[in-house]
Every structure is written in structure tokens, then in C-alpha cells.
């Protein structure tokens, strides 16, 4: 009970319009789902994961300090002591700037490691002239991480939309069952009043005993209908409770005193923003599914560029200016270290095959994107037609309900004059009940159709 009191206090604070104190509006319900539902929170984790992946990719461009020290001491003799240290700065276009300091000494030092007494410092650059200059694995990883972040944002929207759609269906079912319970409660009262009236007439000899049996049958049928609808309502409440949570993953339960929004048909399109979507010029270019497929193509294009780069020869050129630490102000560039590495496969079968595979994947993804655009447009038009049709059908069913209600009222008036029978009254009432149930079902279809439009358009941020 404490949980539901907290829930009511929070709900009331969110009210933007007049409503019953015990009414849980659809807008409030969606607000709780968006903010607290575990699956929506899980969808938000995709963004955090993508951001962490982007940070890892950026780490490939972090400056790096390397120190390598090796020393051998035996019987008070220093066989060798070698220090190699460097500071590397990777840059975007595969170029690497490197500063270093080396020092070595020892009686058994390898001649190629012999350096001046104060050591040797260096400053240089490594440049890939073929593979790795315009794109390399480090650059590709960073580009992919940025695209993956955009992709994860689209996927988060789609996952959140799925949760909101399922939650909305649960809310609409709860409202439908609640309305049916109210309907059957009302008609049970009418049947009981009619049964008591007929019983009194029988006692006074104005009616035959068979009329009480017929009236009793109607009461039992109404009780049976009410019991079944109450069962459905109890189950729909439990289903709806699956989507109600508070902070710290505290689940909530719908209590018997809480009711659904009474005039939902007046607010549902504003809540879901589907009233802005019922126009032919609705754009789909910012749709999360389109964005996700575009991000997939962008990822494949980065991979294709990397495969294409592998067709180039591998040529690495390195130049390092050398100087003793005390002579750095000297402009003598005769002291240097230079290196060139070259490699190139003769047939390039592995590289050409990899490039073809990358191109085929892009084509396949492009086909999927084109198909998704057409399907989305057709789904939107189809849903627009359905919503407009349901509006017309609701008007027709409402007119039928009024007509059946007028027929029942007329039959009851004739019954009071003795010109009708209980059988005809029950028949008229059954027709009215059936039409009202159809009206509730039509209303539920209308709500569902609007949330399906919301799901198709995935306009979560509107």
C-alpha cells in the first residue's frame, strides 16, 4: 500500500490538466516507462558502450613513452648497460613523430650499441608513403567507433520504441477490460432490478412464474459475464504492472482504486504526436531504421577503404636527426639515421578478393536500405488509411449504440403499458450490450492503430 501511495503522489505532481485523483493517464504512464523501465535503461547502456568504444579507439592516437633498460653485472664488472627511451606521438595520417634518448656502456658492449659518453638523443619522423598514409587500422577503428555511436543511438530509439509499444498495448487492454467490467456491472444492476420487479408482479398475480425464470437467467448471464470480465481485468492489471517502475528498480502494482484515462481518445494523438504524422508529406530520412542502415553502410565503406588501401605497396620511410644532448643547438644535419621498408605482393589475390567482398556487402546493405524506405512509406500510408477509417467506423458504431439504446428505452416503456414482454426487453438489451462491446473494441483498435503509427515512425524524441 505504501508503494501505491508514493506512486499516486508522484503521478499527481505530473498532472498537466484536470483529471480524477485516482486516474492514471496514458501520458503519465508513458512517462514512468520512459524514465524507469529496466529495458529502456538497458537501451541507454548501448550509448554508454559505444562511447567507451570510441574512447578506446581514440587511445590509438595517445602519445606513448617507452623505456627499455638492460644491464648485466658479474664479478664487479659491468658487462653492458643499455638504455633505450622514446616518446612517440601518432598523428591522423599515419605519420609518427618520435623523440628518443639512448645511452650505453660496458666492457663487453656490442659495437653497434656504442654511443657517446653522455648518450645520444634523436628526433625524427616515420612516414608511410603507400599503405597506411590516408587510412590505416588505427584511423579505421576511430572512424568506425564514431559511426557506431550514431548506430547505437538509432538502436536505442528502436529498442525504447518497442518497450513503449508493448506498454501501450498493455494500457489499452487494461482500459478495455476496465470499461467492460463497468458495462457488465451496470447491466447486472438493471437485470437485478428487473428481476425484483417481475418477482413483485408475480406475487401480485400480474405476471406468470415463467417470467421470473427468464429474468433470473438474465441475471445469471450478467453475473457470468461480469466474472469473466473481472478475471480479464485482474490479468491485464498484472500485465500493466510489468511496465511500472520507480527509481532503484522498484516495481509498482496497479491497485483496485486506480483507473485508466477516461477521455483517452481526446489526448492519445497529442501524447504520441501522431496528429502530425497524418499528412502525406511525412519524411522518413531521420527514421532510426534508416539511420541504422545508413550507419551500417558507412561502417562497410570504412572497411572497403581499408581493403582498397591494401592494394598499395607498403613503403615506410623514417628519418631521425641524431645529436649529443649538449649539442642540440647545432644545425649540423649530417648526423642522422634513415630507413626504408618496402614490400608488395605480386598477385594481390588476397587483397583484391577482400575488396570485392567489401563491395558486395555494401551493395547488399544498400538493397536493404532501399527496401526499408519503400516499406516504411507504404506502412505509413497504410496506417494513415486505417486510422482515418477507424474514425469513421467509430462514428457509425456510436450511432448504432444510440439507436439500440432508443429501441430498448421504447421497449421498456411499452412493457410498463403491458404491450411488450420481458423476452423482447432482453433481446433489445442484448443488442445494445453487443453494440457497446463492439464500440469498446473499436475504440481499442483506434488506440492500437495510433500506437502502431507511433511505432512505425519511431518518433521517440517528439
What would the pLDDT profile of 248-270 be if each residue is shown by its tens digit? Answer: 888 888 888 899 999 999 999 99
Mean pLDDT value across residues 95-103? 93
The answer to which of 133-142, 233-242, 269-278 has the lowest mean pLDDT is: 269-278
Mean pLDDT value across residues 101-128? 89
Does residue 283 surpass a pLDDT of 80?
A: no
Does residue 335 surpass a pLDDT of 90?
A: no
Q: What is the pLDDT of residues 306-327, one digit of tens each?
A: 999 999 999 999 999 888 887 6
pLDDT, residue 407, reads 93
pLDDT, residue 255, reads 84
Return the higher-pLDDT residue of 20 and 226. 226
Mean pLDDT value across residues 403-419? 88
List of residues 6+ apart from 27 with CB closer than 8 A? 16, 267, 271
Q: What is the pLDDT of residues 184-199, one digit of tens each?
A: 999 999 889 888 887 8
Q: What is the pLDDT of residues 47-68, one digit of tens each?
A: 888 899 899 999 989 999 999 9
pLDDT, residue 393, reads 96
pLDDT, residue 461, reads 60
Q: What is the pTM of this model?
A: 0.83
Q: What is the pLDDT of residues 443-454, one digit of tens each?
A: 999 999 999 999
Q: Which domains does the chain have, with CATH numbers?
A: 2-36+139-299+360-457 (1.20.1600.10)
List of residues 6+ apart from 359 with CB closer than 8 A? 304
Packing angle, helices 38-58 and 26-36, rounded to 10: 40
Does residue 3 surpass a pLDDT of 50?
A: no
206 pLDDT band, cuts 50/70/90, is low
The answer to which of 9-13, 44-48, 102-106 has the lowest mean pLDDT is: 9-13
Query: What is the chain's mean pLDDT, rounded?
Result: 87
Return the higher-pLDDT residue of 416 and 410. 410
Does residue 282 surpass a pLDDT of 70?
A: no
Return the higher-pLDDT residue of 326 and 353. 353
pLDDT, residue 11, reads 37
Amino acid at each position: 500500500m505504501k508503494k501505491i501511495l508514493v506512486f499516486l503522489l508522484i503521478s499527481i505532481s505530473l498532472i498537466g490538466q484536470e483529471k480524477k485523483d485516482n486516474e492514471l493517464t496514458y501520458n503519465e504512464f508513458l512517462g514512468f516507462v520512459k524514465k524507469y523501465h529496466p529495458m529502456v535503461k538497458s537501451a541507454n547502456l548501448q550509448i554508454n558502450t559505444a562511447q567507451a568504444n570510441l574512447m578506446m579507439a581514440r587511445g590509438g592516437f595517445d602519445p606513448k613513452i617507452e623505456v627499455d633498460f638492460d644491464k648485466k653485472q658479474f664479478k664487479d664488472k659491468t658487462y653492458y648497460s643499455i638504455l633505450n627511451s622514446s616518446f612517440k606521438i601518432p598523428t591522423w595520417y599515419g605519420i609518427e613523430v618520435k623523440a628518443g634518448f639512448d645511452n650505453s656502456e660496458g666492457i663487453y658492449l656490442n659495437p653497434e650499441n656504442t654511443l657517446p659518453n653522455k648518450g645520444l638523443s634523436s628526433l625524427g619522423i616515420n612516414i608511410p608513403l603507400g599503405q597506411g598514409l590516408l587510412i590505416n587500422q588505427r584511423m579505421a577503428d576511430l572512424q568506425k567507433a564514431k559511426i557506431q555511436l550514431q548506430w547505437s543511438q538509432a538502436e536505442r530509439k528502436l529498442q525504447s520504441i518497442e518497450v513503449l509499444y508493448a506498454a501501450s498495448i498493455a494500457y489499452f487492454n487494461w482500459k478495455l477490460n476496465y470499461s467492460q467490467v463497468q458495462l457488465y456491472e451496470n447491466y447486472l444492476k438493471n437485470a437485478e432490478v428487473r428481476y425484483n420487479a417481475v418477482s413483485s408482479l408475480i406475487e401480485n398475480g400480474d405476471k406468470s412464474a415463467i417470467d421470473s425464470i427468464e429474468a433470473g437467467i438474465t441475471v445469471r448471464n450478467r453475473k457470468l459475464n461480469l466474472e469473466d470480465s473481472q478475471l480479464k481485468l485482474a490479468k491485464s492489471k498484472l500485465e500493466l504492472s510489468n511496465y511500472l517502475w520507480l527509481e532503484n528498480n522498484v516495481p509498482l502494482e496497479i491497485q483496485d482504486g486506480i483507473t485508466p484515462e477516461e477521455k483517452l481518445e481526446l489526448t492519445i494523438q497529442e501524447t504520441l504526436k501522431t496528429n502530425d504524422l497524418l499528412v502525406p508529406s511525412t519524411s522518413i530520412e531521420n527514421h532510426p531504421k534508416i539511420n541504422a542502415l545508413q550507419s551500417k553502410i558507412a561502417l562497410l565503406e570504412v572497411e572497403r577503404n581499408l581493403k582498397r588501401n591494401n592494394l598499395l605497396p607498403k613503403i615506410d620511410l623514417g628519418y631521425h636527426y641524431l645529436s649529443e644532448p649538449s649539442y642540440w643547438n647545432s644545425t649540423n644535419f649530417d648526423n642522422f639515421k634513415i630507413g626504408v621498408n618496402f614490400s608488395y605482393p605480386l598477385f594481390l589475390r588476397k587483397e583484391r578478393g577482400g575488396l570485392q567482398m567489401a563491395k558486395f556487402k555494401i551493395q547488399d546493405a544498400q538493397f536493404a536500405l532501399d527496401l526499408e524506405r519503400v516499406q516504411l512509406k507504404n506502412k505509413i500510408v497504410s496506417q494513415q488509411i486505417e486510422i482515418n477509417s477507424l474514425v469513421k467506423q467509430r462514428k457509425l458504431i456510436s450511432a448504432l449504440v444510440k439507436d439500440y439504446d432508443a429501441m430498448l428505452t421504447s421497449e421498456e416503456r411499452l412493457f410498463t403499458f403491458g404491450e411488450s414482454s420481458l423476452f423482447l426487453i432482453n433481446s433489445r438489451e442484448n443488442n445494445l450490450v453487443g453494440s457497446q462491446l463492439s464500440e469498446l473494441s473499436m475504440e481499442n483498435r483506434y488506440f492500437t492503430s495510433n500506437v502502431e503509427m507511433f511505432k512505425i515512425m519511431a518518433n521517440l524524441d517528439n
